[in-house]
A and B are shown apart, each in its own frame.
Chain A
Amino acid sequence: MTQPIIQPIIQIESVTKRFGPVLAVDDATLAILPGEFFALLGPSGCGKTTLLRMIAGFEAPTEGRILIDGQDMSRVPPNKRPINMVFQSYAVFPHMSVLDNVSYGLKMAGVAAAERRDRAERALEQVKLAGFGTRTPDQLSGGQRQRVALARALVNQPKVLLLDEPLSALDAKLREAMRFELAQLQDDVGITFVMVTHDQDEALAMACRAAVMNRGLLAQTGTPAELYEFPANRFVADFLGSVNLFEGRLAVDEPHRAVVESAQAGCPIYLDHGVTGATGATVWAAVRPEKIELHKRADERPPAIEDVPSGYNVARGTIRTVSYLGSESIYLVTLETGHEVRVTRPNLTRWDQEDFTWDEPVWLAWHHESVIVLQA
C-alpha cells in the first residue's frame, strides 16, 4: 500500500499498554484517516477495547503516543478530547430525559440553552428518534437507547466517534438492520467512526478498513477484501471466515508461479503468485471453503477435462458430513491422506442440496488463483 497523502485523524505510534503483568496492547502502530469507518476486530480479550479506551483517554498508554489531528493527546483527559464515544452499555443517564441526555455535552461546552435544544432535536432526528425528547430512558427499548447514545455523541460534532461493540446487545434481526443504518449514518455525517467488534461479519459489512488484533498485537490492517482474500498469516485467515490450511514445503518459487508440496493434501498445490520465501521452508497453502468445487467421482479417473478446466488443483476424497443451511450446504470431506477439508456450496436451485450425500466419493477442485500461501 502507498503512504497516505492526507494527514491521518488518529495516529497510534508504538503504543503499548500493560495492566500489571498483563500485556493488553503490544507495540501497536496504526493510522486512521479522516472520514473513514474503521473497525478494530479481534477475539475477546485481544485488547481492542483497551486500544479504543486509550484513544478516548480513559487509559494512558504505558509506552508510545497517540496523536489526534496531528496533536499529541496521550496525556490529555477525556473531557478535553475532540472525540466522543458510544459505550457498550450505552450508558444513557437514567435520571435525565432523552433531550437532556443528548444536550449534556453541549451544556458542558457552555452552549446556550436555546441552541442546545435545537441541536439536540436535530441530532435526535438524525437517529430517527424525533419526538422522543421528553421520554425517560426507562421508557425506551434497547435499540432506542442505543440511538440516544449515538445522538448524544454526534451532537457534539466530534472529530472521531468511537463505538465499543455497538451491535452486540441487539437481537439478530435488529443487528443486521443497524449495520446498514450505522454505515449510512456515518456516510451522512462524514465523521470518522472507529468501531470495536469481535464479529467478523460486522467488520466486513460496515468498515472501509479494519485492523485485526490478536493477543495485543495488530495482526493485519486493510480493506475487508484485502483481509479476506490476502490474509497476512494463519490467524487472520482463520479469524475471518473459515479456511482450509495445507501444511507443506515450498517446492517451486517463481515470480508468477509457485508449488507447495503438501503431505496433507496428497498432491502438489499450484498457485498463481510467487512467495519470495526460501524454497524448502514450511508454508501453509490456504483455500477458502467456497472456492473449492465438488465433482462426482464414479470411478478412479480424474474428472473429465470439460468438468475441470486447466489451472485447477484436484484432490480425491469422501464426503463425511453434510450440513444443510438453506442458502448453502457445508460438506466435510476426508481426503485420502486423512486430512479433512471444508467445502461450501450455494444451493442455486431447490434440488442442489440433493447432489451430494454422505459417504459419497468426490473430486475436490480449486483454481490456482484461489490459493494463497501463508508463511506464518
Chain B
Amino acid sequence: MKPMVEPLDYLRRGWMRLWLGVVFLFLYAPLLALVAFSFNDSKRNIVWKGFTLKYYQKAWENSGLVEAFGNSLAIAFVATVVSVVLGGMAALLLWRFRFPAKSVLSGLFGLPIVVPEICMGVAMLTFFVKIGWPADLPWPLNLGAVTMAHISFCFPFVAIVVGARLVSFNPEMEEAARDLGASDWDVLRDILVPHMKPALIAGALLAFTLSLDDFVITFFTSGPNTVTFPVKVYSMVRFALTPAVNAASTVLMAITILLTVLALRAQRGLQSSAQAH
C-alpha cells in the first residue's frame, strides 16, 4: 500500500521533489563547478584531469591579487567596526528618544539600502572628485574613500538588525537597573549593550560580508592603487578565465560562507534568548 501523504509533507510528492532538484541544480551547480575546477589540473576548464593545488599557489604568487585581497580585508575590517558603532548608535537613537522628524531620519538611515548601487557608486565618485579627495596617500590611508563608501551602505543594515532587537527590550530592565543605583552609562554598559550583543554580532558579520564582496560601489570609488578583490577578479576575468581566479574565488566564498554561518548562529542565539522572556 502507498503510504499516506500528510497535508504538510510536501517533499513526499514526486513533482515537488523534481522541482526542488531543478532549483538546486541551477543555483548550486555553477558554484560547485567553480570549486571543483579550482582543483582541476587543466588549463582549460572543460574536462577533469586530476586533483591539484597549483592554482592556489598561482593565485598566491599573483602579487596584484594578494594585494587586492589584503585591501579587501582591511576595508571590510574598518568598515565593520565603524558600521557597528554607527549603526548601533543610530538604532539606540531611534529607539530611545523622541524628537521632531524622527521618521524622516529613520527613513534617511535606510536610504542607502534602497538606492540602486549604481546610483550610490556614481554619487560617491562625484562626491570624492568634487571635494578633491587625495588619490595618492600611503597605504592604508588611500583606502579611505572606498572604506567610507562601504560604511555608508553597511551601517544601515546594522541599524536595522539592532533596531529589531531593541523592540524586544523590556523597559523595566532599564528601570530596575536605575532603581538599583545605575547611572545612564551603567545602564548602557550593563543592560543595553548585553541585550544588543547578538544583534551587534550578526550586524558585524553582515557588514563584513557586504563590504568584502561589494563590486559596483567599490568599482566607482577605487583608484588604480586601491583595487579590491572583486574588482581585481573582474579585471582578470576580462583577459582570461584562469583557474587561479577560480581558486581565489573559492577562498573568498569559503570566508563568506563561514561568516554567514556564524551570523546565523548569532541570530539563532538572539531568537532563543528572546523566547526566554
**Which residues does A use to contact B, with CB under 8 Å?**
56, 58, 77-80, 83-85, 87-89, 91, 93-95, 104-105, 108-109, 137-138, 149, 152-153, 156
Q: Which residues of the other chain, B, contact A78 by a CB distance below 8 angstroms?
A: 175, 178-179
Q: How many angstroms between the C-alpha atoms of A188 and B197 in the bound complex?
A: 40
A79-B195 CB under 8 A given contacts A87-B172, A94-B276, A94-B277 = no
- Interface readout for B220-236 with A: 1 if CB under 8 Å, 0 if not? 00000000000000000
Q: Which residues of the other chain, B, contact A79 by a CB distance below 8 angstroms?
A: 178-183
Q: Which of B172-193 contact A (CB under 8 A)?
A: 172-173, 175-183, 186, 190-191
B interface: dominant SS: helix
User: Nearest Cβ in chain B — how far from A351, in angstroms?
Assistant: 52
Q: Which residues of the other chain, B, contact A95 by a CB distance below 8 angstroms?
A: 194-195, 197
Q: Which residues of the other chain, B, contact A77 by a CB distance below 8 angstroms?
A: 178
User: Nearest Cβ in chain A — how far from B273, in angstroms?
Assistant: 7
Can you list 22 A-B contacts with CB-CB less than 8 angstroms, sorted by A residue number? A58-B175, A77-B178, A79-B180, A79-B181, A79-B183, A84-B180, A85-B176, A85-B179, A89-B170, A89-B172, A91-B170, A91-B175, A91-B176, A93-B177, A94-B276, A95-B194, A104-B180, A104-B182, A104-B190, A105-B180, A108-B181, A109-B181
A94 in contact with B273 (CB, 8 Å): yes
Beyond A85-B175, A95-B194, 16 additional pairs, beta carbon < 8 A: A78-B178, A78-B179, A79-B180, A79-B183, A80-B181, A84-B179, A85-B176, A85-B179, A91-B172, A91-B173, A94-B276, A108-B180, A108-B181, A108-B182, A149-B176, A156-B180
Task: Please tell me which one of the listed residues A88, A105, A108 contacts residue B172 in the complex, with CB atoms under 8 A apart.
Answer: A88
The 3 closest A-B pairs by CB, nearest first: A108-B181, A105-B180, A91-B176
Q: Which residues of the other chain, A, contact B170 by a CB distance below 8 angstroms?
A: 89, 91
Q: Which residues of the other chain, B, contact A94 by a CB distance below 8 angstroms?
A: 195, 273, 276-277
A152-B180 CB under 8 A given contacts A94-B273, A94-B277, A95-B195 = yes
Band of interface residues on B: 20 to 34
Q: Which residues of the other chain, A, contact B179 by a CB distance below 8 angstroms?
A: 56, 78-79, 83-85, 153
Q: Which residues of the other chain, B, contact A80 by a CB distance below 8 angstroms?
A: 181
Chain A residue at minimal CB-CB distance from B170: A89
A87 in contact with B183 (CB, 8 Å): no
Q: Which residues of the other chain, A, contact B277 by a CB distance below 8 angstroms?
A: 94
Task: Please tell me which one of the listed residues A85, A108, A138 contacts residue B276 in the complex, with CB atoms under 8 A apart.
Answer: A138
Q: Which residues of the other chain, B, contact A87 by a CB distance below 8 angstroms?
A: 172, 175-176
User: Nearest Cβ in chain A — how far from B266, in angstroms?
Assistant: 14
Q: How many angstroms between the C-alpha atoms of A110 and B42 in the bound complex?
A: 70
Chain B residue at minimal CB-CB distance from A137: B276
Chain B residue at minimal CB-CB distance from A156: B180
Chain A residue at minimal CB-CB distance from B174: A91
User: Nearest Cβ in chain A — how far from B167, in angstroms?
Assistant: 16
B191 in contact with A93 (CB, 8 Å): yes
Chain B residue at minimal CB-CB distance from A83: B179
Q: How many angstroms between the C-alpha atoms of A183 and B181 in the bound complex?
A: 26
A108 in contact with B186 (CB, 8 Å): yes
Scoring B176, B180, B183, B273 by chain A CB atoms within 10 A of each residue's CB, the highest score goes to: B180
User: Nearest Cβ in chain A — how far from B67, in angstroms?
Assistant: 42
Scoring B173, B179, B273, B276 by chain A CB atoms within 10 A of each residue's CB, the highest score goes to: B179
Q: Which residues of the other chain, B, contact A85 by a CB distance below 8 angstroms?
A: 175-176, 179
Q: Which residues of the other chain, A, contact B175 by a CB distance below 8 angstroms?
A: 56, 58, 78, 85, 87, 91
